[in-house]
Copies of this chain bind each other. A is one copy, B any other.
């Protein structure tokens, strides 16, 4: 075997050995499997396991706190469901059976002894993307060259979450270089979507997305520098958020980087409910993580910052670069029509948000990603003969905007970034010029379309635009692709080559059962506004969230 093959085999053995711990083992799967496998868990897991894993996470925490479920039975239910998700979707890099069961046992003992929980996350299983450090485990960050990279400490956010009572139980897949919004690696292959296994689970936090879609995690932790938490949450019809950089603990992530960072990533939740995301931020910030990670901003979670009265929502129907495809356009209509019917306690004003300059923004963003022109990553791949997958080539090697910066061009690039941020801030301020009330949030697509066919996720700007601005964005489910309603637009003249690519690619039968999500975006540090606005928007849809 070549060095590459040896390392890949080692990583897969680690994964497979971890899955072999499942007790009792999973029964056989139907053969053949349907494209939509979201009904399979009911056939393979026990009724109680399904009940536990399909309970909304905050409600689940309440049940654990009341003693209705033990932490161990909850952990085992999720461990078995995640193992099943791996069989169906290829989304797990390591099941943490022993760690999770030991931890849950401790929690149960504490609860038995004291009658109390250890914290607000007492007994909630949580999952994370592979490149989050996990004590005494290997962290490869999707690089074959790093398969033997062992770390000796948990990532800061894992430490914090476990200090609040959570139970880390599974680690999940991410794409090569962690810079695709699909999920495929030389190490583990391709991860897919439970609603339609032809489709991608999204990326880069794709494994978490796949787990979510199968209810195989209540709360996943991902990173997002261009959409990596939001795409997979949206691809699987769930919730996800990229908060403002500097709010969530970041220490202890492995990644190759590429020269001095010029655009900030942030850790965000991928979750079964909006409430879970809010809970995640609120309690993490209650621990004051900035006292030990001083790059963070000491800003506690601000509950319900919107003053009841007017809620002004800018609706961005298109970014004027790639026009949203029929299911997404329909989702925008569903939500805006619902909002027009009103929400008790709020005067909702919808304004059209005209996107300007988003094409230039994408060029700038992709230039900012690899300030060394991708040199370090390319060398790391080449060091063990790991091939560049097509989407790696697309974002890095063949991207005309990616180049190696020197100290001056980097300074210039950062100035252009800041100038764009200033210009957009002015643009946002203008939305209040008539009434002194600028838009509170923007409602917009997450992507031109829904979950992708393999290798087609070549336009990130509906998410990455907000990373460039360091604006928080969160996604929520609206509907599913409808074979009757979501027919392609006739006689459409594409705006440009990118628009043409997506227009020509689309037909509804390729995306059977795919979930359709939308995004709520707020100004920098308006994370709380985004989640409160989402709650109001969901209440217009008749949901309590």
Interface residues of A (CB under 8 A from B): 251, 257, 259-261, 290-295, 297-299, 371-372, 376, 404-408, 410-411, 414, 418, 421-422, 424-426, 429, 469-470, 523-525
Q: How far is the CA of A418 from the CA of B406 in the complex (A)?
A: 21
Query: Cβ of A469 and Cβ of B294 under 8 Å apart?
Result: yes
Query: Cβ of A259 and Cβ of B407 under 8 Å apart?
Result: yes
Q: How far is the CA of A411 from the CA of B255 in the complex (A)?
A: 13
Q: How far is the CA of A257 from the CA of B259 in the complex (A)?
A: 20
Given A421-B294, A425-B292 in contact, is the A257-B411 Cβ separation under 8 Å? yes
Q: Report chain B residues within 8 Å CB of A411.
A: 257, 259-261
Given A422-B292, A425-B291, A524-B290 in contact, is the A407-B260 Cβ separation under 8 Å? yes
| Nearest-CB residue, chain B, relative to A376 | B408
Q: How far is the CA of A411 from the CA of B295 in the complex (A)?
A: 15
For this chain, the copies found in one complex come to 2
28 intermolecular pairs with C-beta atoms under 8 Å apart? A257-B411, A259-B407, A259-B411, A260-B260, A260-B407, A260-B410, A260-B411, A260-B414, A290-B524, A290-B525, A291-B425, A292-B422, A292-B425, A292-B426, A293-B422, A294-B424, A294-B425, A294-B469, A294-B470, A294-B523, A294-B524, A297-B299, A298-B524, A299-B299, A371-B407, A376-B408, A404-B407, A407-B407
- Report A441 CB to chain B, min CB distance, Å: 15
- Report A301 CB to chain B, min CB distance, Å: 14
Q: How far is the CA of A425 from the CA of B372 in the complex (A)?
A: 31
Q: How far is the CA of A307 from the CA of B172 in the complex (A)?
A: 44
Q: Report chain B residues within 8 Å CB of A261.
A: 411, 414
Given A298-B524, A425-B294 in contact, is the A407-B408 Cβ separation under 8 Å? no
Q: How far is the CA of A298 from the CA of B244 in the complex (A)?
A: 12
Q: How far is the CA of A231 from the CA of B298 in the complex (A)?
A: 28
Q: Which of B410, B421, B470, B524 contacts A259 (CB 8 A)?
A: B410
Starting from the known contacts A251-B422, A291-B429, A291-B523, 7 additional A-B residue pairs (CB-CB under 8 Å) come to A290-B525, A294-B422, A294-B425, A297-B525, A298-B525, A372-B407, A404-B407
